[in-house]
Amino acid sequence: MITTRVFNIHNGIDTAYIYIWLSKTFSIIYIGMTNNSCGPIGRAQGHFNNKGTFRKRFLEETGLGIENVNDMILLSFSLPKDRVFISTESSYRESVEYLVMKELQLRRGSVSPSFDIISWHDRFPRRTSNSVVKKIANKITNDFISVFPTL
């Protein structure tokens, strides 16, 4: 039996998210962001289809198909409902995502088991010095680090 609990992360109307897919068995995490109207669950369709970035990165890192994972967990962190986060312009969301990724790279050794980050960011987003962006990214990082050992 597969139990799937879905609360409100399927609703992305006027909401944007930073999300983290993780598998402790494979010691990997994948960090992303979305303002998809179906939320992180809707965004997952793109990651798990045959050409999906998460599927490709998982295969590159482990040599296995993502369908072999039996402990995949999705953590979602809603961003403020401010226009800068929920509009089609993505620099604020990308900046939060980037800062979360970089901070978790630095802090991954502080949790057990440690993890590899298999997502990547190929550019330096322009809003990373914004104080609100930094505060949000720091909160997400701290929340993740505190909950990770209990998952």
144 Cβ partners below 8 Å, 6+ apart?
A: 20, 75, 100, 104
Render pLDDT for 107-147 as a digit per residue (tens, 0 to 9): 998 998 899 999 977 778 889 999 999 999 999 999 999 99
Global pTM value: 0.89
- Specify the pLDDT at position 5: 60
* Domain assignment present for 8: no
* Domain assignment present for 114: yes
- Specify the pLDDT at position 42: 76
* Domain assignment present for 53: yes
* Domain assignment present for 6: no
Give the C-alpha separation, 148 to 22, whole Å.
9
Number of domains in the chain: 1
Render pLDDT for 67-91 as a digit per residue (tens, 0 to 9): 889 999 999 999 999 999 999 899 9
- Split at pLDDT 50, 70, 90, the class of 104 is very high
Render pLDDT for 30-56 as a digit per residue (tens, 0 to 9): 999 988 777 777 787 777 788 888 889
Q: 60: domain range?
A: 17-150
* Domain assignment present for 71: yes
